[in-house]
Amino acid sequence: MGNFNTKVQQLNAAIPTWATQQNTTESPIWVVDQYTGFSGSSDNRDGVHPNDAGDTKMMNVWYPALVKAFQAAKAEKTKTARLLRA
- 16-74 pLDDT, tens digit each: 999 999 999 888 899 999 999 999 899 999 989 999 999 999 999 999 999 999 998 89
3-state secondary structure at position 83? helix
* Topology (CATH) of 2-85: Rossmann fold (3.40.50)
Domain ranges of the chain: 2-85
If we measure between CA atoms, which residue out of 59, 56, 66 comes closest to residue 31?
66
Confidence of residue 2 (pLDDT cuts 50, 70, 90): low
State pTM to two decimals: 0.73
Strands (E), 1-86: none
